[in-house]
Amino acid sequence: MKRDNSAPTMKDVAREAGVALGTVSKVVNGIPVGESYRIRVEEAIKKLNYQVNSYAQGLKANKTYTVALLIPNTREPFFGLLAYHINLALLKRKYRLLLLSTDSDMAQEQEYITMAKQNKVDGIIGLTYNPDLVVEEGIPFVSIDRSMGAKIPCVASDNFAGGQLAAEKLADLGCKKVAFFRVGSVLNNEPNKRKAGFENGCLSRSLPYEMKIINTGESYDEFERFLLDHMRDGKLEIDGVFCVTDGLAYFTCKLLRRLGLRVPEDVQVIGFDGIRYFGNADYICSTIVQPVPDLAEMCVELLLQESMSAKPPLVCLPVTYAYGGTTLESPEEEDKGE
């Protein structure tokens, strides 16, 4: 798009209003001037349909009112939901969102860090598994799910408590032997704590458990092999599975049914994330729900809060359990653990 050469400038406004250029500048930037001057300038702006040049404004204020979000994609429901709520939290504060959703382009991610250095954006919220991403101190950056260094706040769900809650729930629902299924990054990150929380929950309830853990990129056939290894006469020795994500829970339910097992009658399955059909219909499976609107608010709050002298290195927000058809229904009155 080419700029229309006939677009009026601040000089045109000054000429039209019969005032000095500095007076127009003051009015445009909200600096007080005499009432009669203000009115003349505003009338001239209206008459000429003068549009403030935002680049010049940005140059002056060193503020862009723009925040960049680095996120793998918006195709997977958890990421799409998170991007949506971060957008809402920014809009509420009159900030714009620059979206970088690129599953694996690490050079692009690094370029956005450079943009923050160049004041092209006021800050960055990043959910990234780029192991080499360098975020210098002093760049306003809030990380989701993964610690990027002591000076960079990390916001996550309370993944440990979520894993523990899943174990307790399976125990409450009558499971006698359970398993934890995980596919994930080898990078150190907050969701890894789901495993430790689950183990802790199983131990505190004396619930026997096993683990099947594979890394991103490895074959899911491992899970089928694990289940077949635990079948005796067409029955599975395991009656509850906690999966590290709802996506893996969905896969696991399909696998169990293919092996002739009923979900939830023979095996109960709990996922993690709280994904719903079409974004807002039923839960796809029984699940530990991440508080996505709260995560989004916290990220934006921590990023834009300038008066905080020390930002917290790690913030964990509470999760909840939701029934989604792959566990037995709880009795109406919840057992309060008395």
Size of interface with a copy of itself, in residues (CB under 8 A): 61
Per CB under 8 A, does 322 bind a copy of itself? Answer: no
With contacts defined by CB under 8 A, name the span among 149-157, 168-176, 183-191, 244-252 that binds a copy of itself: 244-252
Per CB under 8 A, does 137 bind a copy of itself? Answer: no
* Choice between 5 and 36, CB closer to a copy of itself: 5
Q: How far is the CB of 21 from a copy of itself (least distance, A)?
A: 17
> CA-CA distance, 143 to 155, in Å (whole number)?
6
Q: Which of 10, 41, 100, 135 binds a copy of itself (CB under 8 A)?
A: 100
Q: How far is the CB of 112 from a copy of itself (least distance, A)?
A: 9
Per CB under 8 A, does 297 bind a copy of itself? Answer: no
* Choice between 142 and 171, CB closer to a copy of itself: 142
Q: Which of 46, 47, 117, 258 binds a copy of itself (CB under 8 A)?
A: 117
Per CB under 8 A, does 80 bind a copy of itself? Answer: yes
Q: How far is the CB of 129 from a copy of itself (least distance, A)?
A: 17
Per CB under 8 A, does 178 bind a copy of itself? Answer: no
Q: Which of 105, 218, 221, 329 binds a copy of itself (CB under 8 A)?
A: 105
Three-state SS annotation for the chain:
CCCCCCCCCHHHHHHHHCCCHHHHHHHHCCCCCCHHHHHHHHHHHHHHCCCCCHHHHHHHHCCCCEEEEEECCCCCHHHHHHHHHHHHHHHHCCCEEEEEECCCCHHHHHHHHHHHHCCCCCEEEECCCCCCCCCCCCCCEEEECCCCCCCCCEEEECHHHHHHHHHHHHHHCCCCCEEEEEEECCCCCHHHHHHHHHHHHHHHCCCCEEEEEEECCCCCHHHHHHHHHCEECCEECCCEEEECCHHHHHHHHHHHHHCCCCCCCCCEEEEEECCEHHHCCCECCCEEECCHHHHHHHHHHHHHCCCCCCCCCEEEECCEEECCCCCCCCCCCCCCCC
Q: At which residue do the structure tokens 């009658």 appear?
A: 265
Per CB under 8 A, does 52 bind a copy of itself? Answer: yes
Per CB under 8 A, does 1 bind a copy of itself? Answer: yes
* Choice between 122 and 239, CB closer to a copy of itself: 122
Per CB under 8 A, does 91 bind a copy of itself? Answer: yes
Contact residues for a copy of itself, defined by CB under 8 A = 1-4, 51-56, 58-59, 62-63, 66, 69, 73-77, 79-81, 83-84, 87-88, 91, 96-102, 105, 108, 114-120, 122-123, 138, 140, 246-247, 250-251, 275, 277-281, 284, 306
